[in-house]
Structure 1
Amino acid sequence: MDSVIDLRSDTVTRPTPAMRQAMARAEVGDDVFGEDPTVLALEERVAKLLGKESALFCPSGTMSNLIAIAAATERGDEVLVDGEAHILHYELAGSAVVAGVQLRNFDAPAAGCPSPEQLASLQRLADPTHEPRTALLCLEQTHNRRGGTVAQPEALARTYAAAAGLGLRVHLDGARLGNAAVYRGTSMATLAQGATSVTLSLSKGLGCPVGSIWAGSLEARERAHLWRKRLGGGMRQVGVLAAAGLWALDEQLPRLGEDHVKARKLAEMLADLPALRADPEAVQTNIVLLQTESGRAEAGVAQAAAAGVG
């Protein structure tokens, strides 16, 4: 089965021999005490890439998103999320269980970015007798459940400005922000410019075995660091993992566009199958969503194999 390419997710990738060599050579220290030079180098580099003052290496994107929410809110606050958001569907209600906040979902356009008018309508009135304080807006770029779609930079900028005008902080779940930047032909810092905090996954399109980066202001990092420790995310000689991230930023980040081309090609190969339908025009980055007719999954798999997709 060595000829089979697993396309379920960009999370099933494995470290390349060169990445493993970089990990083996990593200089390490105790990151709980802030003494791992490789982690510090990774945090500094990602902070610059994302246009933020500081960054924090975390074990996973679920943890870094939870850290971002907990660091930006108080217990009993309300957090606005798109109805298809990863934070809402795939993070086990951690924001409620751990941070003590209420998620309120809203319908959003294809890329999950609300208009200023919609955002204004979502903010609750200042009524501490009955309603929670609307404290945070969470966005997601690229948008997973919406097929890897990317908002227009201008739309993001308008949403950021509207949130600031309403006194809302903004967290950007940028697990695949590198893909978003490549697709829009801009920088990750530009897409995250108005966000209070942003997270970037190292284990998705960048191919690292583990890791996610939280980034934000120096002041916010103090709270984020506290929450990372509280959640058990403080790690010791973790430079071996940070080294994979540094290598990926050099070698994998510039190649993300290749994945977009291949994803579009895959969608084209599957577009005309009667039991499995894909829309090539909807593919913007590295995610291809397939539509199956009820009870036709096996037929779709057989048709895909006949089309050259195993």
Structure 2
Amino acid sequence: MIELRSDTFTLPTARMREAMLGAQLGDDVYGEDPTVRALEERAADLLGKAAACLLPSGTMANLAAIMTHCPRGSKILVGAESDIYVYEAHGASVVGGIGYEPLPNQADGRILLTDLAAGFPPDPEDPQFALPGLICLENTQNRCGGVVLPSEYLAEVRAFADGHGLPVHMDGARIFNAAVAAGTPVSEITRYADSVQFCLSKGLSAPIGSIVAGSAEFIRGVRRVRKMLGGGMRQAGIIAAAGLVALEETDRLAEDHANARLLAEGLAGVAGIELDPAVVQTNIVMFRVTDPRFSWETFVRAASRHGLRVGELGHGRIRAVTHSGVSKADIDRAVAIVHQVLSEGP
């Protein structure tokens, strides 16, 4: 089976498994796990932040960051196509008493400054309206096809946020994909945000874990929220050890990007598939099935029967994600399966 549903369907490398087996351990709830501390220090250094905190998942990491930034009764300005808004069960509202103001994402992932401005009430003194407490960006932007937000845009949002006295949180689940695609150190991207979340368990191939980074004071708040959410872990060094290896191997993501472009080019040549390879920037390929015999559901099921797993990502689009478990030979096979499925019919 060729697994292209998500880059979370990867196994830790042999080097990660070896590091996990030999990890020095302690109680991370008390800050006594040396391997966790080493990972957090390394992550903070890479992202250009003062401190960092390991959490079990990206969803919890984003939630802890939002709750640390925002008081109850405030709201976050967030993209309507963002993972925070679409896929994280509105945890900020349920747990934190914080509202969401979903704003349109452009095809390139941006939220226009005019749309951000529209998220503010006409009269901030009017108690009928919730006040914005945070701007959330996503980089790369998953539901926009893994696009990288331009640095010029990030600078504009930073200036806008400063002008309105708001912090910026970056959901950088795939932030290292953005850095590799842009050919820049990751700190050049994250410097525009007050806080950043990234996943160790997506393209970086670690088995579990996400990191939140920011100021030292902010991370103290994140640790408190993490504990409240049930995310305090004991001998978490066994997780952190794989994360440390992952951070040494981020350049490997270029291989995933190359495979994604090969996949896009191959799919674009299949009758019944709608796809522009030029829009593929990182490890995510989005396409539509235009063959009238298929719905997206019947196509996904048929592809799975032939040994290819892909998934739908909103608006009837099919998503394929390349990762360390996918080779060039797998890409060739995946294109052949799509061609076979469309040739045979549902």
TM-score, normalized by length of structure 1?
Answer: 0.94
Alignment of 1:275-286 (within 5 A): 275-286=272-283
Q: Is the 8 A contact 2:263 2:335 kept in 1?
A: no
Q: Determine which of 24, 37, 40 is the counterpart of 1:40.
A: 37
Q: Is the 8 A contact 1:136 1:171 kept in 2?
A: yes
Q: Determine which of 72, 78, 91 is the counterpart of 2:88.
A: 91
Match of 1:52 in 2: 49
Mapped to 2, the partners of 1:307 and 1:172 lie a distance apart of 34
Mapped to 2, the partners of 1:292 and 1:142 lie a distance apart of 24
Mapped to 2, the partners of 1:307 and 1:55 lie a distance apart of 41
Match of 1:169 in 2: 167
Mapped to 1, the partners of 2:234 and 2:16 lie a distance apart of 20
Deviates more, 1:267-276 or 1:37-46: 267-276
Instruction: Kindly state the Cα deviation for residue 279 of structure 1 after the two structures are TM-superposed.
Output: 2.1
Mapped to 1, the partners of 2:334 and 2:187 lie a distance apart of 43
Mapped to 2, the partners of 1:14 and 1:277 lie a distance apart of 31
Match of 1:24 in 2: 21
Q: Determine which of 70, 94, 99 is the counterpart of 1:73.
A: 70
Q: Determine which of 285, 288, 294 is the counterpart of 2:285.
A: 288
Mapped to 2, the partners of 1:102 and 1:133 lie a distance apart of 9
Q: Is the 8 A contact 1:79 1:102 kept in 2?
A: yes
Deviates more, 1:238-247 or 1:102-111: 102-111
Q: Determine which of 222, 235, 240 is the counterpart of 1:224.
A: 222
Q: Is the 8 A contact 1:36 1:239 kept in 2?
A: yes
Give, as a single letter, the amino acid of the residue that structure 2 aligns with 1:134: P
Q: Is the 8 A contact 2:104 2:115 kept in 1?
A: no
Give, as a single letter, the amino acid of the residue that structure 1 aligns with 2:262: K
1:248 matches 2:218:
no
Deviates more, 1:175-184 or 1:286-295: 286-295
Q: Is the 8 A contact 1:119 1:163 kept in 2?
A: no
Please, which runs of 5 or more residues in structure 2 have no aligned partner?
Answer: 309-331, 339-346
Percent of residue pairs identical: 47
- Report the aligned-residue RMSD: 1.9
Mapped to 2, the partners of 1:309 and 1:213 lie a distance apart of 37
SS in 1 for 2:134: strand
Deviates more, 1:108-117 or 1:9-18: 108-117
Q: Is the 8 A contact 2:29 2:232 kept in 1?
A: yes
- Describe the shift of the 1:306–1:67 C-alpha distance in structure 2 as closer, same or farther (beyond 3 A): closer
Q: Is the 8 A contact 1:115 1:158 kept in 2?
A: no
SS in 2 for 1:138: strand
Match of 2:317 in 1: none
Mapped to 2, the partners of 1:295 and 1:140 lie a distance apart of 35
Mapped to 2, the partners of 1:307 and 1:243 lie a distance apart of 36
SS in 1 for 2:15: helix
Match of 1:186 in 2: 184
Instruction: Kindly state the Cα deviation for residue 309 of structure 1 after the two structures are TM-superposed.
Output: 4.2
4+ runs of 1 displaced by more than 6 Å?
302-306
Aligned residues: 306
Instruction: Kindly state the Cα deviation for residue 119 of structure 1 after the two structures are TM-superposed.
Output: 2.5
Instruction: Kindly state the Cα deviation for residue 307 of structure 1 after the two structures are TM-superposed.
Output: 4.2
Mapped to 1, the partners of 2:220 and 2:126 lie a distance apart of 28
Instruction: Kindly state the Cα deviation for residue 107 of structure 1 after the two structures are TM-superposed.
Output: 1.1
Q: Determine which of 236, 239, 248 is the counterpart of 1:238.
A: 236
Mapped to 2, the partners of 1:306 and 1:216 lie a distance apart of 40
1:52-104 deviation digits (Å, cap 9, x = unpaired): 11000000000000001000001110111111000111001111101111101
Q: Is the 8 A contact 2:177 2:282 kept in 1?
A: yes
Deviates more, 1:259-268 or 1:102-111: 102-111
Give, as a single letter, the amino acid of the residue that structure 2 aligns with 1:308: A
- Describe the shift of the 1:31–1:289 C-alpha distance in structure 2 as closer, same or farther (beyond 3 A): same
Q: Determine which of 152, 171, 181 is the counterpart of 1:154.
A: 152
Give, as a single letter, the amino acid of the residue that structure 2 aligns with 1:145: R
